Amino acid sequence: MNMWKEGSRSVVRCGREMTAQELEAAIETVRLCSGLGRVELAETICEHWGWITASGTHKVTACLNVLEELERKGELHLPAKQRRGGIARARGAEEGKEESSTGIARPSESRRTGCAIVSEHFES
């Protein structure tokens, strides 16, 4: 993996030490869950890594920074960034997304089932 300094077995990004195995699992998550958006991918990876803020929320922005760095280095390909607002909500309804209680479109459960296998990569 290009991120590693010679002889190093881990890297520190955004205050978190990540092992090669964790980064490989994150890359595999992105590959297996290609139907999810960037934020959902980051939330999934944060959940598996136990990467949370002091207030208990997932460190989504920090995780996105790591994923974008991996993408720049050619280790993975993230889905395109999506615009927020009325157009995205309307498009979401057409593409089989449900609206959350906040009114923001989210993937239906049928799209998330493809990610169930990802847990195996994090638990091993």
Q: What is the pLDDT of residue 122?
A: 54
Q: What is the pLDDT of residue 10?
A: 81
Q: What is the 3-state secondary structure (H, E, C) of 88-123?
A: HHHHHHHCCEEECCCCCEEECHHHHHHHCCHHHHHH
pTM over 0.75: no
- Stretches where the chain sits below pLDDT 70 are 1-8, 85-124
Q: Where are the domains of the chain?
A: 11-81+112-123
Query: Model confidence over 54-73: pLDDT tens digits?
Result: 999 999 999 999 999 999 99
